[in-house]
Chains A and B, each alone.
Chain A
Amino acid sequence: EVQLVESGGGLVKPGGSLRLSCAASGFTFSSYSMNWVRQAPGKGLEWVSSISSSSSYIYYADSVKGRFTISRDNAKNSLYLQMNSLRAEDTAVYYCARDLILREVVVIDYWGQGTLVTVSS
């Protein structure tokens, strides 16, 4: 069974840093691209960042570029998101999510349960 379990969320002051982790199991982690997707309270989904299976390709939303860093450790079956210079508008549930290609289209087929990040003084 595919499982994605996020951790590392919490309350942080504006300007602070936080590192999110996602532990993957039930599939060959090193074969899949992975993502972070967030959802502000009561709002819609926002794709944040993605990383290819070997970390060769990394992409960020403009809203986090230069502040967030995605990384992975395939030996540990883990995905990370280092978040620096946090702002109130970064407050959200952060989901770890797996990419899959179906009929040449990239989809997100598995999501974690999410971890809440709250940026507030």
Chain B
Amino acid sequence: DIQMTQSPSSLSASVGDRVTITCRASQSISSYLNWYQQKPGKAPKLLIYAASSLQSGVPSRFSGSGSGTDFTLTISSLQPEDFATYYCQQSYSTPRTFGQGTRLEIK
């Protein structure tokens, strides 16, 4: 199985900050990498697919990059509604494993 490791596990930041979350795969997954946002008590929401493509309706302050084993999710200017937990997921092979999550908290 492909292991997905996110860093950091948690992060404190302020509104307006630029934030980067990293996801590393245990083997190359090309660009088969997706990012989801989850707020407490809610289902996850797709943000980024194929490593760098923005899902329809998602604000442009979210961006993704990377290929192979190393990927990043960047939020260019944090908004109050962005404080949530973020998960990467590989869809290169089954099982389609998730990272352990990065909790983004208000400083």
Contact = CB atoms under 8 A, between A and B. Distances in A.
B is a partner of A: yes
Interface of A: 44-47, 50, 59, 61-62, 95, 102-109, 111-114
A104 B43 contact: no
Most chain B CB neighbours (cut-off 10 Å) among A45, A59, A62, A104: A45
Given A95-B43, A111-B43, A111-B44, A105 B95 contact: no
A105 B87 contact: no
Q: Is the interface of A mostly helix, strand, loop or mixed?
A: strand
Q: Is the interface of B mostly helix, strand, loop or mixed?
A: loop
Contact of B87 (A44, A106, A111, A113): A44
B50 A103 contact: yes
Interface residues on B, range: 20 to 34
A102 B51 CA distance: 11
Nearest to A112: B43
Given A105-B32, A108-B44, 13 more contacts: A45-B38, A45-B44, A45-B87, A45-B89, A47-B98, A61-B95, A95-B43, A102-B49, A103-B50, A107-B46, A107-B55, A108-B89, A111-B44
B3 interface: no
A75 B107 CA distance: 50
Contact of B99 (A44, A102, A103): A44
